[in-house]
């Protein structure tokens, strides 16, 4: 068995906070809708899988920012984006490419214009396909 937790709209705020405080320490998998968008700080978590589609830059940046924050003992973070190519989900990938991590602080930059080089410090994300 793999210990895991779930947060949904029926979880009371106090229990939600306890779950988030244990995330990355007592267990690793957390199933949650929208939790990574709101003011919780969980820098010890190193992997996120983003499935919910949105083209809202702030929502995506918040989700990624929760995982890429630096903390002692954490050298990297992984963010997986699951999307359906050829649909509105393509916007999510575009937004994710625009959300970057720079000097230990989350920064959001617009994607480079077609044919232009990325802004200084902007990282290149690799597209994976099956």
Q: What is the pTM of this model?
A: 0.57
Paired residues of 32 in beta bridges = 7
How many of the other CB atoms lie within 10 Å of CB of 48?
19
DSSP string, 18-83: HHHHHBTTTB--EEESSGGGSS---TT--EEEE-S----HHHHHHHHHHHH--BTTB---EEEE--
Q: What is the pLDDT, as a whole number, of residue 101? A: 41
Map out the domains of the chain as residue ranges.
34-108
Q: Tell me the percentage of the chain whose pLDDT exceeds 70.
A: 60
Residue 22 has pLDDT above 80, yes or no: yes
Q: What is the pLDDT, as a whole number, of residue 70? A: 79
Q: How confident is the model at residue 14 (pLDDT cuts 50, 70, 90)?
A: very high
Q: What is the pLDDT, as a whole number, of residue 104? A: 38
Paired residues of 31 in beta bridges = 6
**How far is Cα 110 from Cα 129, in angstroms, rounded to an integer?**
24
Least confident window among 13-27, 51-65, 112-126 = 112-126
């Amino acid at each position: 068995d793999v210990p895991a937790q779930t947060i949904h709209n029926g979880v009371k705020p106090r229990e939600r906070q306890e779950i988030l405080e244990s995330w990355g320490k007592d267990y690793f998998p957390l199933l949650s809708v929208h939790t990574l968008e709101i003011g919780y700080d969980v820098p010890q978590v190193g992997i996120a899988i983003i499935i919910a589609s949105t083209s809202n830059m702030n929502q995506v940046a918040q989700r990624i920012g929760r995982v890429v924050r630096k903390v002692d003992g954490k050298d990297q973070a992984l963010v997986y984006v699951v999307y359906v190519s050829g649909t509105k989900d393509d916007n999510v990938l575009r937004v994710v490419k625009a959300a970057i991590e720079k000097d230990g602080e989350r920064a959001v930059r617009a994607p480079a214009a077609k044919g232009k080089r990325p802004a200084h410090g902007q990282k290149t994300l690799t597209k994976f396909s099956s």
